[in-house]
Structure 1
């Protein structure tokens, strides 16, 4: 049960977070990689099968693992669950239950009722993960700010994933009119601006830096909402990596 296994899972399944973690201090990597590997495993659980019942069983496995961690007793041996138990407090494990439960959406084909439902989904997934990452680094303060940052990051990632979700028969947007998409993007930018205006504890910075692409993606979505449905929100690779390098060198996020 090594950290290398978690790193490989994140590298393959969440390359943006992997790059951000590799730019963090070694001690922070050891805390973040098991958490992000857990997120990859949970996020992909509903997609490895077309059967909702099997997807539910896979998600229940992770709910049971979190329950074991929260209970403070023995935790099942697993390449991710075992190191995860070493970085999560019982309270942090309980806080991640909504993240797993929210992934049930991926197992079915019902659309979100409205924008608020989509934002609730992003808050439960990306928002919870951001808060848990900061706590794993010892940053207990600023959870409301981290929730805003995580939601904004989740929205940017959601926009990037929309073409693939549509191709798989999902309805990822409650309203796919250009003006509605642009409004969503602007709401994400407002959350990001609020987070930056408030600031974060220094210990939370390696977690917050995983959102380094958020502003660019949301700005492009607000300006060209047609690119959300058709693709084209990604920036050039050299620009993407340069943005992360600049933040790492300046200590920013």
Structure 2
């Protein structure tokens, strides 16, 4: 799991080092599952092939949640452990998979409401589930903050990828308008953060980089987002100390 997340989702990988040792393998499993779902867009040549892969994950989740043994797939096996550890709800996992069906097509995003719904299922729910892995009793108190944070984080990563962001921009909104909306959502999330139990804060550490990303995109919106791994690691360490 570690190699998958380190390669495909560096920000979340770095955040796991601030989680308790016993929780880290389950966070890595959850993030590896997400990475497997997200990468489908990039490894298929036709949308219907991507739909087949996503359906496999839906079937796998259904089976695990019904008590069946996980398929002999390392990420699926590890995900079963994370589901048990955090009491992760089947529907949240299924909704995350279904949300990424949009990635396979080039249909335009109808509006901001639909974009936020997509981000809620694809990004915010992942934060909530990470919080559940960390502390399932405290996680419900983080849901509102996670909803806002996931939208901001998702928008930053979408805007930072000029090659793929076109279909995600709501009709009638340009990059500048979406950037402003992301900044507002981030500010709202950060205002709620001090109220959260410390036990769930590692789930939000990747979001701490969002302000840095948005500022960089604002300066050069036409350039793919690039921030050095060292700078991200230092920023996350500094944030963890400040939050802790």
Q: Select the residue among 225, 234, 241 that pairs with 1:242.
A: 234
Match of 1:31 in 2: 26
Q: Any stretches of 5+ residues in structure 1 without a counterpart?
A: 1-5
Match of 1:215 in 2: 211
Change in Cα spacing, 1:87 to 1:190, as seen in structure 2 (3 Å) is same
Change in Cα spacing, 1:43 to 1:178, as seen in structure 2 (3 Å) is closer
Whether the aligned pair in 1 keeps the contact of 2:152 and 2:183 (CA below 8 Å) is no
Whether the aligned pair in 2 keeps the contact of 1:151 and 1:188 (CA below 8 Å) is yes
Instruction: State how far apart, in whole Å, the 2-side matches of 1:57 and 1:13 are.
Output: 21
Match of 1:79 in 2: 74
**Count of residues in Structure 1 that have an aligned counterpart in Structure 2:** 238
Offset at residue 27 of structure 1 (A): 1.8
* 1:17-166 aligned within 5 A: 17-89=12-84, 91-138=88-135, 139-142=138-141, 143-161=143-161, 163-165=162-164
TM-score w.r.t. the length of structure 1 is 0.85
Q: Select the residue among 190, 195, 199 that pairs with 1:193.
A: 190
Summarize deviations over 1:216-237 as a string: whole Å, max 9, x none.
223444x54xx33x02654455
Partner of 2:63, secondary structure, is helix
Q: Any stretches of 5+ residues in structure 2 without a counterpart?
A: none
Whether the aligned pair in 1 keeps the contact of 2:159 and 2:175 (CA below 8 Å) is no
Change in Cα spacing, 1:91 to 1:236, as seen in structure 2 (3 Å) is closer
Whether the aligned pair in 1 keeps the contact of 2:183 and 2:211 (CA below 8 Å) is no
Summarize deviations over 1:146-180 as a string: whole Å, max 9, x none.
2222222222222222x1315xxx52312453542
Instruction: State how far apart, in whole Å, the 2-side matches of 1:23 and 1:132 are.
Output: 16
Change in Cα spacing, 1:29 to 1:245, as seen in structure 2 (3 Å) is same
